[in-house]
Amino acid sequence: MLDFLGYTFYFYSNENGEPIHIHVSKGKPSNNSTKFWIKRNEIVLEHNKGNIPKSDLKKIQKYICANRAQIVNRWYEFFGF
């Protein structure tokens, strides 16, 4: 798990059939998380169930983009690829 601005970044173990993505929530992991797809050339907001403010979403998206390689590597390690 990563942490940025008090937000926690994590994967759910039952979602390895989906494309690479990361969940974000304030503090502990939550069912009301925000989800970003991590595509080859872009980071796409899938949904914002965590109701993260737009100003923070932009910062989080930039953070994910800047740390994309590390997140993707952790995804593959997490799911055993």
The predicted model scores a pTM of: 0.90
- CB contact burial 36-57 (16+ within 10 A = b; e otherwise): bebeeeebebeebebebeeebb
Predicted pLDDT of residue 48:
96
Per domain, the residue ranges of the chain are 2-78
Overall average pLDDT of the 3-21 stretch:
89
Looking at residue 57, its pLDDT comes to 97
SS3 66: helix
Q: What is the mean pLDDT of residues 54-67?
A: 96
